[in-house]
Amino acid sequence: MNKIWLLILEFMKTGLFAVGGGLATIPFLNEMGAKYGWFTMDTLSTMIAVSESTPGPIGINMATYVGYTVAGAGGAVLATLSIVTPSIIVICIIANYFQKFKNAKIVQMIFAGLKPAVVAFIAAACLNLFISTLLHAEKGISGGIAEFFNWKCILLLAVLLAFKQKFPKVHPIAFIVAAAAAGIIFSF
């Protein structure tokens, strides 16, 4: 199958089934990287960082990033449209019928069942991000415990968490800028 059609199909699937927001797209992106070799886990970590630090929803930003990486500017547009199209269609259908069925027991049970699934998607994404950012899992423990951990990232995380604890009113953008600057200065 053509790379463009695969891109469209994968992002339509992601847009339809990634319930729970942008972080819920990460397991789908992880699968895309493994299945098609479009990007590595390191690249996915970079995509997440860029998507989180740029304006707009993370899922759409990541679709745009992957689309551009895979097929240039046209791929970016197609991936972005592909991830939002299923949601637009579903929302239009739901909005049309929701007022009529919002108090129905089955609808309430469906939403109650979706909540744990959304939490599981987000938890899996966070675990993958944790492992790929703070550990050198690809090296394994055979290289020694010192090489297994990404000490620069762990130290940066500890410093940022300490500052956030000490100065809770500081805007998150300040922490994003500080982390980006540290990444540049210390060559992460």
- What tens-digit pLDDT sequence spans the chain (188 residues)? 799 999 999 999 999 988 777 778 888 888 898 899 988 888 888 888 888 778 888 889 889 989 998 999 999 999 999 999 998 998 888 888 777 777 788 888 988 898 898 888 888 888 888 888 888 876 666 667 778 888 888 998 899 999 999 999 999 888 888 888 888 888 76
What's the confidence (pLDDT) of residue 47? 83
- Cα 136 to Cα 2, 64, 103, 144, 159: the distances in Å are 34, 27, 49, 11, 20
CA-nearest of 55, 13, 22 to 129 is: 22
Q: State the pLDDT at residue 139.
A: 66
Looking at residue 31, the DSSP 8-state letter turns out to be: H
Residue 143, pLDDT score: 66
Taking the C-alpha atoms of residue 42 and residue 40, their distance in angstroms, rounded to an integer, is 5
Beta carbons of 68 and 34 less than 8 angstroms apart: no
Burial label, 80 (beta-carbon count in 10 A; 0-12, 13-18, 19+): buried
The pLDDT of residue 77: 96
Total-model pTM: 0.60
Both structure tokens of 134:
């703070």
Strand partners, 135: 149
Distance from C-alpha of 33 to C-alpha of 80, rounded to nearest angstrom: 17
Structure token digits, residue 32? 């895309």
